[in-house]
Structure 1
Amino acid sequence: MNIQSKSMLWAALFAAVVMPAAAKAPPEEVAKLGKELTPVGAIRAGNKEGSIPEWKPRPQGGPLKDFWPSYPDIEGEKPLFTITGKNVGQYADKLTDGHKELLKRYPESYRMNVYPTHRVANFPKEILDGSIVNAASSVMNGVDEPAGALLGVPFPIPQSGAEPIWNHKMKYRGNAFRRFNNQMIVQLDGKYTLTKIIEDVKFYYNNPAVKPALELKPGVASIKYVSEIVAPPRLAGTFILAHEKAGTGPQGRAAWLYAPAIKRIRRAPAVCCDNPYEGTDGHQFYDQVDMFNGVLERYTWKLVGRREMYIPYNSYRIAGNKVKYADIARPKHVNPELPRYELHRVWVVEADNLPNLRHTFAKIRFYIDEDSWSIVARDNYDHQGQLMQLQEGHLIYASNVMASTTVPEVIYHFNSGRYFVTAMANEDKPGDASMEFADSYFEPSSIQQRAAK
């Protein structure tokens, strides 16, 4: 074999390792969508024990603005049981490693109240119908190169570990949104400091108002995002702008940062991966925002399968305006009386860091709700194999938008004992889904003009 032939062979072998062959969902599985499977790929029926019920989606209800999501049917429900450090062994097979660690570390104070399960997550009809179409046409040409999806969940019948992550990243959230994001770093004694952020987002992929529907593919902006830090004063006036795209390098995410000290907006390739998000003092990486976002290229991705788990769900109490930030913050962990846990089926995905693209986390195990495709928990491990963090998202279904989201999200740092809470609006305003943004609103020149005022 000559040198050229050997080079071609090695190139082919390398491509086979890092670029898995695209595979569509089997036709016999696609045929189940809208029948024994929901249109987005969840198992419609409950489990045989009856502890997980059949999917019964809630219809649209409520205005797009000034609306706090709620679920009156579950108000007043009492816990079925409580998981504590003493009885954790009975439930260990249905708990994340992070939750087991909290129960082990704080047996006298941490507990998980488990309530009856309700499966109410829903989407607009266009999203449900489009998801069925996508199942027969969407493929993954490498972990950051989806193709063939036009409207709806891109991969309702996942064939690889990367596909559920893309379902989370591209899940339906409305047409545009303004979110009041309050964050706190909580010390071991329960004292905390607050950061206030306003986030504006416009969705291009998975938006029924976009005509013709946008294909999810590299180089095309699927989401445009801008955040402004408004408090504390030392950070106020900081802007982050991002155009989220599939792909990597020049085709992938484009990001900019405006810092008041410099008074101009600059390209910011560091708005990525395990670089700390502005204002979090290192307690949240950029790719931990919204539980996970950004490129997948630093990991190999394994689809472990479905599993029944106790996860934060229907968390309207901790997300609502009747709870203050001081009610949430407690020493070592959030107030255990506020979260609500339920038994649900989740997709489990494991990500292992590639040696040539190092990340702070050597391994991540993701838990993704089958009904909403929302990441609701993740175990983050360091390069010594030790559990470094638990990240959990408290899931709610917002009936006014017909979308699910995690509010708040909590990151427990096991090395320091501190924890970080983000996506809180309790003492502010609910998200505004009535917003309309011109495309020019998300251009660097517009941010420069806003910042200069």
Structure 2
Amino acid sequence: MTKTLSLLVAAIALGLSTGNSLAAVSAEQASALKNQLTPLGAEKAGNAAGSIPAWGGGLTKAPAGYQGPGSHHADPFAAEKPLFTISKANLAQYQANLTAGQIALINTYPDSFRMPVYPSHRSGAAPQWVYDNTFANATSAKLLDGGNGFSDAYGGTPFPLPQSGVEALWNHIARYRGTYLVRRSSEAGVQSNGNKSVVTSRDEALFNFYEPKGSYAGLNNTLFNYMAFNTAPARLAGGGVLVHETLDQVKEPRQAWAYSAGQRRVRRAPTVAYDTPVESVDGMRTVDDTDMFNGSPDRYSWKLLGKREVYIPYNNYRLGTPGVKYDQLLTPGHINPDYTRYELHRVWVVEGTLKPGMRHVYSKRVLFLDEDSWGAAVVDQYDGRGDLWRVSQAFLKNYYELPTVWTALDTYHDLQSRTYSVLGLDSEERGTVDFAQPSPGDGGFTPAAMRRKASR
């Protein structure tokens, strides 16, 4: 079960999921996407203080030194130095632009946790066809089944002008991350004393919603297909998982199959969702923590609280520097601040409160969504007593070969046990995510295909 869950959760990290039918915005409202707003719905203008610049199209070309698809990313901002560093010593000066979780991390690790703040670059960008689909989605996309799914949207942001919390949440879950990808990366769990366990896997994903010729969401209730095999350590090598992710997971739960290397058999795996603990990292996070939030939104009431200016992880290319050892990154308590980068950005704030009669270990979760990409950069999670318990951060960067903003790696902190886990480590690998491989189509993600690939 531990082997299967480790890979299954990695599948969810790549996933999408979506929220009685509501009317889309008017054509007049949507016209804002052509002028004062960016094509994905962010404010084009910078802030009054000048600390957040205007959006000028984002980062759409690779800098010098980039070796091509699948290679580690050259850092377009490598020459920059921090403007200042937020720490326990100056927390009071900057805490108005921090989340409760970030403040808690500084107070929990006052001698070591710090946030190097760099000049802000609005590098968020996407292909023109994603912009075109997003503009069409603004006047056509509809929430279904109380928010458990959406329809009449093609590959793009479904709700660029969100009218509710659940719409904004779906923008995060259904954000663009390419159409087909392969990668090799590692997941690690780090104990309070610094001891760590690392599991490496090779995975691939087909984002059906972003197939250029795909049908609109809600037509077939399929969002993506995913397959992965463990490659290390030796005791886990060869085990694999296959996932068919559904859109409305209340109506049709995600389907999964597991491959046993010892038995050379593919079997149906249990459905894993919501607050199932992730055993591969000793329960340091729940299944639906992965990718900052994934799966069905049905257990929470979601509110859109508006926007804030927050120091969030952004343009974090240094974390994937080739040759940087995981031992250098995975320090006790948190990842090494020498490799992190924070910038001031506007974020949408979405609050989920557990519905009466529903069960989950989190009574509340607050997501801070980058306005330029809709990716959640920080999530604060509260326990049943209402106390802040866990803090997640996505260290975002622009994959300029597409382009899109996605995470370099994700961290998940348990403030009570002082443990954390990391997903997406690849600095010890020969490369990073490769979006340029030819897609095998749905036929490459069947139990039979899984068996064939496992025997190679």
Q: TM-score under structure 2 normalisation?
A: 0.89
Partner of 1:102: 105
Instruction: Please state how far the C-alpha of 1:38 moved relative to its aligned partner.
Output: 0.5
Partner of residue 432 from structure 1, selected from 422, 431, 434: 434
Amino acid at match of 2:210: N
Q: Say if 2:160 is the partner of 1:159.
A: no
Instruction: Please state how far the C-alpha of 1:404 moved relative to its aligned partner.
Output: 1.4
Q: Distance in 1 between matches of 2:293 and 2:266?
A: 25
Partner of 2:245: 244
Partner of residue 125 from structure 2, selected from 122, 127, 130: 122
Q: Distance in 2 between matches of 1:244 and 1:156?
A: 23
Partner of residue 90 from structure 1, selected from 79, 90, 93: 93
Structure 1 residues 145 and 438: alpha-carbon distance in aligned structure 2, compared to 1, 3 A threshold: closer
Instruction: Please state how far the C-alpha of 1:443 moved relative to its aligned partner.
Output: 0.8
Q: Distance in 2 between matches of 1:419 and 1:330?
A: 10
Q: Say if 2:148 is the partner of 1:148.
A: no
Q: How does 1:9-408 map to 2 (within 5 A)?
A: 22-56=22-56, 57-61=58-62, 65-72=69-76, 74-141=77-144, 142-208=146-212, 211=213, 213-217=214-218, 219-260=220-261, 263-277=264-278, 279-408=280-409
Contact 2:148–2:250, Cα closer than 8 Å, also in 1: no
Q: Distance in 1 between matches of 2:185 and 2:219?
A: 29
Amino acid at match of 1:146: F
Partner secondary structure for residue 162 of structure 1:
helix
Structure 1 residues 303 and 26: alpha-carbon distance in aligned structure 2, compared to 1, 3 A threshold: farther
Q: Distance in 2 between matches of 1:416 and 1:220?
A: 39
Q: CA deviation digits over 1:166-211, x for unaligned, max 9?
A: 1122212222101212111112232322110111001111232xx2
Q: Distance in 2 between matches of 1:21 and 1:217?
A: 12
Amino acid at match of 2:120: T
Instruction: Please state how far the C-alpha of 1:355 moved relative to its aligned partner.
Output: 3.5
Partner secondary structure for residue 392 of structure 1:
strand
Q: Distance in 2 between matches of 1:287 and 1:278?
A: 13
Q: Distance in 2 between matches of 1:306 and 1:29?
A: 19
Structure 1 residues 421 and 45: alpha-carbon distance in aligned structure 2, compared to 1, 3 A threshold: same
Structure 1 residues 223 and 60: alpha-carbon distance in aligned structure 2, compared to 1, 3 A threshold: farther
Structure 1 residues 97 and 218: alpha-carbon distance in aligned structure 2, compared to 1, 3 A threshold: farther
Q: Distance in 1 between matches of 2:328 and 2:257?
A: 36
Amino acid at match of 2:97: K
Instruction: Please state how far the C-alpha of 1:46 moved relative to its aligned partner.
Output: 0.2
Contact 2:141–2:152, Cα closer than 8 Å, also in 1: yes
Q: CA deviation digits over 1:372-410, x for unaligned, max 9?
A: 111111011111111111100100001112111112111
Structure 1 residues 159 and 252: alpha-carbon distance in aligned structure 2, compared to 1, 3 A threshold: farther
Give the gaps of 5 or more residues in structure 1.
1-18
Q: Distance in 2 between matches of 1:204 and 1:63?
A: 28
Q: Distance in 2 between matches of 1:245 and 1:313?
A: 30
Partner secondary structure for residue 306 of structure 1:
strand
Contact 1:394–1:406, Cα closer than 8 Å, also in 2: yes
Partner secondary structure for residue 398 of structure 2:
strand
Q: Distance in 1 between matches of 2:294 and 2:415?
A: 22
Could you say what the CA RMSD is over the residues aligned between the two structures, in angstroms?
Answer: 2.0
Q: Distance in 1 between matches of 2:200 and 2:282?
A: 14
Structure 1 residues 360 and 452: alpha-carbon distance in aligned structure 2, compared to 1, 3 A threshold: farther
Instruction: Please state how far the C-alpha of 1:58 moved relative to its aligned partner.
Output: 1.8
Structure 1 residues 143 and 269: alpha-carbon distance in aligned structure 2, compared to 1, 3 A threshold: farther
Amino acid at match of 2:185: N
Q: Distance in 1 between matches of 2:319 and 2:79?
A: 14
Q: Distance in 1 between matches of 2:217 and 2:390?
A: 31
Once the two structures are overlaid, the 10-residue window that deviates more, 270-279 or 314-323, is 270-279
Structure 1 residues 63 and 172: alpha-carbon distance in aligned structure 2, compared to 1, 3 A threshold: farther
Amino acid at match of 1:430: T
Instruction: Please state how far the C-alpha of 1:452 moved relative to its aligned partner.
Output: 5.0
Once the two structures are overlaid, the 10-residue window that deviates more, 436-445 or 39-48, is 436-445
Q: Distance in 1 between matches of 2:171 and 2:336?
A: 31
Partner of 1:3: none
Contact 1:170–1:206, Cα closer than 8 Å, also in 2: no
The structure having more radius of gyration, on CA atoms, is 1
Greater length-normalized contact order (CA 8 Å, ≥ 6 residues apart): 2
Partner of 2:424: 423
Q: Distance in 1 between matches of 2:382 and 2:236?
A: 30
Contact 1:64–1:401, Cα closer than 8 Å, also in 2: no
- Percent identical residues: 37
Amino acid at match of 2:46: G
Give the number of equivalent residue pairs. 431
Q: CA deviation digits over 1:51-75, x for unaligned, max 9?
A: 0001121224467623322342x22
Give the gaps of 5 or more residues in structure 2.
1-18
